[in-house]
Structure 1
Amino acid sequence: MTKNELKDFLDAKVIEYNNPKFNESDPIQIPHTFTLKEDIEISGFLTATISWGNRKSIIKNATHMMALLDQAPYDFVMNHSEKDLETLKSFVHRTFNGDDLAQFIVSLKHIYTQHNGLEALFTTHAVTDSLQPAIHQFKQVFFENEHLQRTQKHISDPNKNSAAKRINMYLRWMVRNDNTGVDFGIWDKLSPSQLSCPLDVHSGNVARKLGLLNRKQNDGKALTELDGALRKFDKKDPVKYDFALFGLGVFEGF
């Protein structure tokens, strides 16, 4: 396949998967149940945080999480009491437990009260062609108040060579807006050109089979390599190809 043929193939797959039908089996359906900006970004962040493992389990547990937050995540974050945090202790998704969830709520309140919210925090630390430095700074701020040490493992750090799959997926949700009904595009201070592909086992394997990625590990170095390849196809919106790579891997077993 020539470069142009590969681009045409991937562009067609983007169209095939980047539509509302994608939401029916994807965790992105959780923030789609909200309309308030802050509810969308908080529910999206919490959902993305537990987005590893079986997708049905992710959706089930994220739905339960929103119920624990009274279907009003922003209000819960801003106005919770210690007693409210205790009601979260029963939550569990793999290694993310109720203590972690309670810590996330406390840290999110810190971000909204001291750093003007999630969008402002990521925007402040973004650079022209990448949000990876912003992810690193986000983790520093997220845990700058008193916190549980065990909870730190649930936010990745690109400075430690992590591909930060879940946060990059979350940023795609918040920043991209192509009016297809999938990604939200509610963070207009950032550009899709700054985004990185959410690199996981599915997108990584497909990328290697298509010659877009040589590195064997799904780490930060692999993410840089894949970003470079996808930007050659579309430098303004490179992560739209996440739909193609993920769709080919998950739905077609490519």
Structure 2
Amino acid sequence: MTFPELKSFLDEKVVLYNNTNFIESDPVQIPHLFTQKEDIEIAGFLSATISWGNRKMIIKNSHKMMELMGNAPYDFVMSHQETDLERLESFVHRTFNGQDFMGFIKGLQHIYKNHGGLETVFSNNLGEDNLQKNIHELKKLFFEIPHLNRTQKHISDPLKGSAAKRINMYLRWMVRQDNKGVDLGIWKSISPALLSCPLDVHSGNVARKLGLLTRKQNDGKALTELDLKLRELDPIDPVKYDFALFGLGVFEGF
């Protein structure tokens, strides 16, 4: 496939999958439940955090998270009492348990009370190429307060070689605004040009088959390689191709 043919093929797949039909089978539906900015941010952050494994289970458990917070995530984060956190103890999604959930509520409260909120943290000192240093900074600030060591593993650090798939997916949700109805695009302070593809098994395998990726592991180096290729296809909105790569892998078994 020539470069123009590849671009045309992927552009068609973006159109096919980047529409509201995508929402019903994807955890992006969780932040779509809310209208207040902070509710959307927190609902998205928590549901993205547990987005690994079976997608139906991810969605089911993300809804459960919202219910445990009285379907008012920002209010719960900011004004919970210690006794309110007890109801989170029974929560479990794979290796993310109730203790981790409590730690995330406290970490989020710290981010909003002391660092201006999630958008502010991610948009501080923006680099010229991507947001990977900003993800590292978010993790650092998130765990400034007392926390269980085990909880740290639930936020990836790109500066330690991770592809940080879930946070890059979250950033896509918050930053991209193309009026197609999937990504929420509520963060105007960050350019979509800085986004990185949420690299997972599906998108990685498809990218390799299409010649967009040569590295075997789905790690930070692979993400850098894929980012450069997607920026060649569209420097302004490179991560729209996540819809094509993911859709080809999950829905078409490409």
> So what's the TM-score if we normalise by structure 1?
0.99
Q: Report what 1:118 is aligned to.
A: 118
Q: CA deviation at 1:60?
A: 0.3
Native 8 Å contact 1:20 1:181 kept in 2: yes
Q: CA deviation at 1:128?
A: 1.9
Amino acid at match of 2:71: Q
Q: CA deviation at 1:129?
A: 1.7
Number of residues paired by the alignment?
A: 254
| Equivalence map 1:89-238=2 (5 Å) | 89-238=89-238
Amino acid at match of 1:77: V
Give the whole-Å Cα distance in 1 for the aligned partners of 2:125 and 2:160. 17
Say which SS state the counterpart of residue 87 (structure 1) adopts.
helix
| Equivalence map 1:63-78=2 (5 Å) | 63-78=63-78
Give the whole-Å Cα distance in 2 for the aligned partners of 1:126 and 1:61. 33
Misfit runs of 4+, over 4 Å? none
Native 8 Å contact 1:125 1:133 kept in 2: no
Say which SS state the counterpart of residue 244 (structure 1) adopts.
helix
What's the C-alpha RMSD, in Å, of the aligned pairs?
0.5
Give the whole-Å Cα distance in 2 for the aligned partners of 1:126 and 1:16. 32
Native 8 Å contact 1:107 1:142 kept in 2: yes
Q: CA deviation at 1:245?
A: 0.0
Greater shift, 185-194 or 121-130, is seen at: 121-130
- The answer for unaligned runs of 5 or more in structure 1 is none
Say which SS state the counterpart of residue 182 (structure 1) adopts.
coil
Native 8 Å contact 1:39 1:72 kept in 2: yes
Native 8 Å contact 1:125 1:137 kept in 2: no
Q: Deviations over 1:118-141 (max 9, x none)?
A: 000000142122100000111000
Give the whole-Å Cα distance in 1 for the aligned partners of 2:105 and 2:145. 12
Q: Deviations over 1:73-114 (max 9, x none)?
A: 000000000001111000000000000000000000000000
Identity, % of aligned positions: 72
Q: Deviations over 1:156-201 (max 9, x none)?
A: 0001100000000000000000000000110000000000000000
Give the whole-Å Cα distance in 1 for the aligned partners of 2:126 and 2:145. 22
Amino acid at match of 2:101: L
Give the whole-Å Cα distance in 1 for the aligned partners of 2:38 and 2:196. 23
> So what's the TM-score if we normalise by structure 2?
0.99
Amino acid at match of 2:177: N
